[in-house]
Chain A
Amino acid sequence: MAADHVTRARYGAGLLALIALFGVSRVICRTGPEAPPTLDAQVQSYTDRYAALRGLLPPRGTVGYLSEGPGAPASENQAPDETEAYQARWFMLSQYALAPVIVVRDPSRSLVICNVQNPTRVPQVCQRPGLVLVRDLGNGIALLRRAQE
């Protein structure tokens, strides 16, 4: 009986170990050099766009944020709900790039950042009543300020 148990246990443990090793190999397969690029791999390049803007902002405080509307597609093949997720992502990445300045989706602030994916759309998206262009950085990012009333 004890011998049966030992044999059974060894086969069981060996099988479990093989299953576990198969699990580790799955991580390798998904992360190897041939794995497709992900959006999270582009965080650095995306936030680098803000490098020049950081020097134009105060060291702390709150700035507004403007971007394409929720319906604007980021690429031609995007569904509306997917677009919304992308917009949220761009907004959060803007905050990540500009911390410790706080970024809020409120264009009524005295300083407002405009962020569009296509640089040629800056005039179309960023022009709002009461906002004056301070600097167009040429990479889809512009700084605006509220005009004196």
Chain B
Amino acid sequence: MTRLILSLASAMALGLGCWMWLQPGPRPRGADLLLTASVSVALGLGLASTTFFLWAIVLRWSPGLLLGIEVTLAVLLVLGGVWAARGRWTDRPREERRSFLDGLLTLGFLLAVGLAAYGFLCRSVREPHGLWDAWAIWNLRARFLFRGGEYWRDGLSPLLSWSHPDYPLLVPGVVARGWTFAGGETTAVPIAVDFLFTFATAGILAAAVWGLRGRTQGMLAGLTLLGTPFFVAHGAAQYAEIPIACYLLASLALLHRADQASQGVGGTYALAGLLVGMAAWTKNEGLLFLAVLLVAHVVSVLRRADRSREWGRLVAFGAGMLPMLLLVTAFKVFLAPPTDLVAGQSLETVIARLADPSRYLQVATAFAKELLDRGKWNILPVVLPFYGLLLGVQARGGTAPGREPDGAGSRQRLATTWGALALMAAGLFVVFLLTPRDLAWHLRTTVDRVFLELWPSMLLATFLTIAPPDSDGTASESEAKIRIPRAG
């Protein structure tokens, strides 16, 4: 167990080092501290998984040496970050205004974290190998990486088509890495990895909204995510939906953060790009998100007045994304069999499916029914729009220390985020329309999980759009007449 904890700590230190190197700043406190810790978890697990895969699986070099390099690199990066921020490391942020509601919601959030952790652990003890797809896909692939030695590629054989050998390897990689450093297969590794991803996601959401809209709104956002029963239950299922949801959320949160930061913006964009790349290395939907976010980004840049600065940011975003994109491309081209949703599809069948109105109705009905499933989503998809109507739309942010007030750029970022999420939902709609599998079965077994991938990001966009409950209401009421975030 000690070796497992040390290997996870090493991964997170690597994430922290990368974070501090790419965006050096004052010593993080409050929202920044929570965001730093939470993103470092996701970043570290992604980096550790990727380097382990390339080093120990593909190149067959010594894993022990890798651990030493990881720790050294993490220390150097952290020291480099502190050195780059010298002089600002001891800056004190402005004090945040505290209210009774603020304290109450913070308490509620902490209570929810405790209850959710208990629920997660109960479920993990009862089902230590996770649910069906966990052992049939993700942990099975991890076993091939761990047990297969030089024949690890057997796990990508088309003979295993039922287990989707075309799926990317971030999650199996991090599990195989944990087993390697722990000295054997133990269910504690996938449980710990999913625990970290689940609570890092809640941490990123709470911290991002706290940093941009104040603590009250941040705690409410985190509480709402943990109050989604399917989120916590599925976290313990050891599937890849929570990790990909974490990466999607983290990338969007960093893009919003970059718009409000005055320094280190290029590094933040590069980090956001890296996180999107990690989403693509987690599940195929990550590739769709990567494409959608790039399109939304380019459209957003074209609509802005200061395009030269925005192109520079887009280049930083692309540079961060590039290493992971190269890895995913190499995997898809040289290693993985074709994706079953694409393989064998002819133009005639695609056109026939697109021209079939009954399929549109079937997919739309499944989407709508899913949102009304109280067992999975509580009643949040119904309650949140009413909550938004009650409070109105946020017009002025900047309640957090060290952040500039919302400007046109931030409002445009919000529009870009909503646009990306809408495009993503539309893309998934088309994937269902075109599926070669039995549509009813595919919808029944998948819709809830693809919604879950987007849910934390939807909550981010929602809580950045709705006015915080502790705002004075003057700005939000004027904006409430518009009801949509203004662009430009």
Is A76's beta carbon under 8 Å from chain B? no
- Docked complex Cα distance between A1 and B476 (Å): 12
Is B119's beta carbon under 8 Å from chain A? yes
Cβ-defined contact, A100 with B144, below 8 A = yes
B448 CB to nearest A CB, Å: 15
Majority-rule SS of B interface residues: helix
Contacts of A43 in B (CB 8 A): 127-129, 135
Residues of A92-126 whose CB lies within 8 A of B: 92-93, 95-96, 99-100, 102, 104
Contacts of A19 in B (CB 8 A): 227, 378-380, 383
Q: Which of B126, B139, B157 contacts A96 (CB 8 A)?
A: B139
Cβ-defined contact, A24 with B112, below 8 A = yes
Q: Which of B118, B228, B387, B477 contacts A5 (CB 8 A)?
A: B477
- Docked complex Cα distance between A4 and B392 (Å): 13
Q: Which of B127, B136, B467 contacts A41 (CB 8 A)?
A: B127
Cβ-defined contact, A100 with B126, below 8 A = no
Contacts of B392 in A (CB 8 A): 5
- Docked complex Cα distance between A89 and B143 (Å): 18
A-B contact count (CB 8 A): 173
Closest to A39 in B: B132
A15 CB to nearest B CB, Å: 8
- Chain B CB within 10 Å, residue with most, of A6, A24, A25, A38: A24
Residues of A1-56 whose CB lies within 8 A of B: 1-2, 4-6, 8-10, 12-14, 16-17, 19-28, 30-33, 35, 37-38, 40-41, 43-44
Total residues of chain B contacting the partner, CB 8 A: 69
Contacts of B108 in A (CB 8 A): 17, 20-21
Contacts of A25 in B (CB 8 A): 115
Cβ-defined contact, B379 with A100, below 8 A = no
A–B Cβ pairs within 8 angstroms, 6 of them: A20-B224, A21-B112, A24-B229, A40-B135, A95-B140, A99-B144
Known: A13-B101, A20-B226. 4 other contacts (CB 8 A): A12-B469, A43-B127, A43-B135, A99-B147
Residues of B bordering A, CB below 8 Å = 101, 104-105, 108, 111-112, 115-116, 118-120, 122-123, 126-132, 135-136, 139-140, 143-144, 147-149, 151-152, 154-155, 157, 159-160, 162-163, 216, 220, 223-224, 226-229, 232-233, 236, 375, 378-380, 383-384, 387, 390-392, 467-474, 476-477
Residues of A bordering B, CB below 8 Å = 1-2, 4-6, 8-10, 12-14, 16-17, 19-28, 30-33, 35, 37-38, 40-41, 43-44, 60, 62, 89, 92-93, 95-96, 99-100, 102, 104
